């Protein structure tokens, strides 16, 4: 029997919205870990460590708000440009977070998926991602896509190459269907930066963008709910008058 995530300690409950106002797919850029650490005189890696709890909170909040898909940007194809020490930390840390949290996510009926490039990624991280996918493949609740070694342009180029190799037509519809996640409704980024940074750029073509000033480690599920309420208040027209 799947368990529900425990309620937030404050007693806060998710917003009550008509189901068609709840975003089906939320994309999250978990930004600001480095600045959070710098503000406390700590090494950047301590910011990443503190971000783990925020991730678990936001997964719980997405389940409670009845979001169907949550995609999080854990490591971008550009993150290899960070210092070797930070890259090494982020690889080991991703592996550790996956190992430590997969049973919890499984107990919440979360289906974990990985989107990203295999190239350069530590084999032990790939193993951990593939094992988490296999463990949770039959779950029917939230789909949590961990974007690790992910780049939006690369995802589009790879999908086009697959279609071409299969001699299938390359159209908006076939490309959309071949990507790892559906269209994004709400694109949420923390830390005050207002950029897409190559995250789900095809899927976010019509997304509502919400930017929050808080740094990622300071975030909890109530911040996700604030973003969802902002989304619900928007008037989505998809180019129509």
* 225 closest CA partner among 74, 66, 48: 66
The question of whether 79 is a catalytic residue gets the answer yes
Beta bridge partners of 189: 29, 211
Touching ligand FPP, residues 61-80 (CB under 6 A): 74, 79
Binding marks (x or -) toward ligand FPP, 108..147, rule CB under 6 A?
--------------------------------------x-
Comparison of 94 and 203: residue with beta carbon closer to ligand FPP: 94
Q: Is 109 a catalytic residue?
A: no
Pick one of 98, 110, 207, 219: the residue that binds ligand FPP (CB under 6 A).
Answer: 98
Distance between CA atoms of residues 145 and 120, nearest Å: 19
SS3 114: strand
Instruction: Determine how many CB atoms are found less than 10 A away from the CB of residue 173.
Output: 9
Q: Is 14 in the site for ligand FPP (CB under 6 A)?
A: no
> How near is the Cβ of 159 to ligand FPP at its closest, in Å?
22
Task: Pick left, alpha or beta for residue 222 (phi over 0 → left; psi -120 to 50 → alpha; otherwise beta).
Answer: alpha
> What is the spatial distance between Cα 39 and Cα 80, in angstroms, rounded to a whole number?
24
Minimum CB distance to ligand FPP smaller for 32 or for 61? 32
Binding site for ligand FPP (CB under 6 A): 30-35, 48, 51-52, 55, 74, 79, 94, 97-98, 146, 148, 191
Active-site positions read 31, 79
């Amino acid at each position: 029997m799947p368990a529900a995530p425990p309620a937030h300690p404050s007693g806060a409950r998710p917003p009550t919205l008509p189901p068609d106002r709840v975003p089906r797919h939320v994309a999250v850029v978990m930004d600001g870990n480095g600045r959070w650490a710098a503000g406390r005189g700590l090494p950047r890696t301590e910011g990443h460590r503190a971000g783990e709890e925020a991730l678990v909170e936001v997964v719980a909040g997405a389940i409670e708000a009845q979001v169907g898909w949550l995609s999080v940007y854990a490591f971008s194809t550009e993150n290899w440009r960070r210092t070797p020490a930070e890259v090494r930390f982020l690889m080991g840390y991703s592996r550790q977070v996956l190992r430590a949290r997969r049973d919890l996510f499984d107990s919440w009926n979360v289906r974990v998926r990985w989107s990203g490039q295999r190239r350069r990624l530590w084999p032990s991280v790939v193993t951990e991602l593939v094992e988490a996918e296999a463990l949770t493949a039959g779950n029917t609740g939230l789909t949590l896509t961990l974007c690790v070694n992910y780049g939006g342009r690369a995802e589009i180029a790879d999908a086009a190459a697959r279609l071409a190799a299969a001699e299938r037509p390359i159209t908006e519809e076939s490309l959309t269907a071949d990507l790892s996640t559906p269209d994004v409704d709400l694109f949420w980024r923390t830390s005050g930066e207002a950029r897409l940074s190559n995250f789900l750029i095809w899927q976010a073509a019509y997304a509502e963008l919400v930017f929050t000033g808080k740094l990622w480690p300071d975030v909890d599920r109530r911040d996700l709910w604030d973003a969802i309420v902002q989304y619900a208040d928007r008037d989505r027209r998809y180019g129509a008058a």
